[in-house]
Each structure stands twice: as C-alpha cells, then as structure tokens.
Chain A
Amino acid sequence: MEISIRAHEEKHVLDVSGELDLYNAYRLREAVQRLAAGDSQGVVLNLKGVRFIDSSGVAALLSINALLTTSSRPLRICNVSRSVQRVFELTRLSGFLPIVASELDALESLRGGPAPNQAAS
C-alpha cells in the first residue's frame, strides 16, 4: 500500500493506493494519528487507488473516524471503488462513515459546504 500526503489549505489529503489489509492498515492509522497530533484542520482519505479492503482496513477507517471525531477534526472519505463501497453497504457503514463522491466534494464539504449524509451511531 502506498500513502502520499498533500497539504491543502489547513487540511490534508491522503492518497491511498493498493491493498488496505491486515499487513498495512496500521500505517494509514499511524499517518492520520500524526496529522491529528499536529495542526491539521481536517483530513481527506482519497481511496481512489484502493481496490481491496479487509476487516483490518475497515477497522482502521472506523478508528480514524473515532480519533478525528474525538479531536474535533473533520474527516471525509472519497473516490471509493465499487467493491469497497459494497463492503460498506453490506455492513451498514455507508451511512456512518463520512463518504463523498470526489476529492472536490470532500474539500468543498470541509470548507463548510454540504456535509455527507451520515447516520448517528
């Protein structure tokens, strides 16, 4: 899995590609933990290059969501592939995680635009 980080205004976009699974999901969690410990005002996870996710990858996304919610920093997840989206749907996470269609939508939403359609847990 590859992770590259771009700063955008005071937010950060993480481009993730490859497999988000048992062997590397912790790296994504650690990357976001470092950003949350700094001065990042929001995080966008761009999953455009992720074609496979397992339960460890889903657990990492849920942990990241909890971490950023606790520290009052918004999270958006964008460019989710069909197969990954299907995993979210079948586990009823698509209404829980802050998923938007594109990076543009994610950044717009972080600037105060429409929030993703999230259900309360």
Chain B
Amino acid sequence: MKPKGLWESVYYSVVTGQTLTVTTSRYRPAERAHIDRIFGAYLRLAGMGHLHTNLTYCVHELVANARKANTKRVYFHERGLDIRDPEQYAQGMQGFKSDTVADIDAFLARQKKAGLNVKIDFSLLPSGVSVMVRNNAELTEAEHARIRDKLAIAARHQCLADAFPRSEDGLEGAGLGIVMMSFMLRNLGFGTDTFQLTSGDGETRASLTLRLPPERLAAGPQGASA
C-alpha cells in the first residue's frame, strides 16, 4: 500500500529499508518545518529524539549551504562569470551576498527553473540515523578548500567566540555555519567522522552519520548535553 502522510512515509521507508528523500529548491520556513518533522521522526525511531532540537540546527545549516551553493551558480551564470576561475570567482563574490539577499525569492525561483535543487536523504541505521544533503552542483576547488579551512578552525578551538574572528570570510560572508555545526556535534558527543563532504558526478554530498554510544543514548537529554 502506498504511504499517504508524513508518518506513513517515514515508517514505510524504514520497514522496507528504503531511503526517504525530500527535494526542495527553496527551503523557506514551511519546507524547513516539514523536514524538521521527518528528521524528528527518524531520531525518535533511533532513540535520539531528545537531540532533535540540537541536531535540526545542523541539518538546517547543511541545507542552507547547499541552497546557497545553487544560488551562487545562478548568480555567476547570469553574470557570465566562470565560477571555477579564481579571478572571476573573487569578482562574482564581491556582490553575491548583497545582491542575492536583497532579492532572494527571485533567485530561488530562477534556480528552481534552472533545475537546481537540494535533496535530503534520511535513512535509519542499525544504531543511528543518516542524513545526506545533496545539491546538483559540484564544489569548486576553492569552495572545498574553504570548507576544509573551516573544519580545521573548529578543530583548533574550544569556543565559538574564539573561532569567530578566524572564520570570518570576506568573500563568503561570515562563514560560520560549518564551524558552528562542528562545535555542536562535538559538544553533543559525536565523533569527528560524523560529518563528511564529497563532490563529484555533478553533485555535492554533505552527510551526517549520527551514532551515539549506548551510554549517551541512555543518558537522555541531560547526558546528551555537553
């Protein structure tokens, strides 16, 4: 029988061992709330429901990054700039944030028309939950290097306030999302291999493999708080 509602879709995917995929191009509050509900259902099934409020932030940052990467592709294409050329990249990024923020709904509509989207894959693991966020544009080497830098900054600091001055990025904006996510995952007790990023075959894949040791699962909200 074909599933009808959100909960049925989650349970159908889980019992049939399938991945549940949600596709969005806009990711505005209504879509975010929908994805939050699905994510919450998976976390509860994995015994991590008490971490929903904390982990949903990480999923949001990954989807927002993926959507922003798609917006960037539209912006560069419309201006005839080659995103892979370092000089043209720097040139395009000068106005990217202010131009797109001011007119984001129009950009989101154009990236949908261009076929650029974000897919969020949810899977229940034997001891946790996997969330993969995919957008159908490959990272440039410069973008990949910037993300690696952010992860290194997060690894070197214990406090976001200390990391903030070093993670500010004149081209990309504050560039704080990946750093914040790394802090949050670490402070919730997740290992350094929880977040993985790959790019190729026409897409970028950011994944969270959320597994907690049994003592952290049993500890509930207090135990899960760092």
Residues of A whose CB lies within 8 Å of any CB of B are: 19, 21-24, 26, 52, 54-56, 58-59, 62-63, 82-83, 86-87, 89-93, 96, 121
Contact = CB atoms under 8 A, between A and B. Distances in A.
A22 B176 contact: no
B68 A54 contact: no
Contacts of B177: 54-56
Interface of B: 29, 53-54, 57, 60-61, 64, 68, 101, 104, 158-162, 164, 168, 173-174, 176-177, 179-180, 183-184, 187-188, 225-226
B53 A86 contact: yes
A112 B151 CA distance: 40
A22 B161 contact: no
Contacts of B104: 23
Contacts of A19: 29
B208 to A, nearest CB: 15
B161 A62 contact: yes
B2 to A, nearest CB: 33
Given A58-B176, A59-B174, A89-B225, A22 B68 contact: yes
B164 A62 contact: yes
Given A55-B176, A91-B187, 15 more contacts: A54-B60, A54-B61, A55-B174, A55-B179, A55-B180, A58-B176, A59-B168, A59-B176, A62-B161, A87-B57, A89-B225, A91-B160, A92-B159, A96-B160, A96-B161
Given A87-B57, A90-B188, A56 B162 contact: no
A55 B184 CA distance: 12
Contact of A56 (B174, B179, B187): B174
A83 B184 CA distance: 13
A92 B225 CA distance: 12
Contacts of A92: 158-161, 183, 187
Contacts of B187: 90-92
Contacts of B168: 59
A91 B188 CA distance: 10
B146 to A, nearest CB: 14
A58 B180 contact: yes
B176 A56 contact: yes
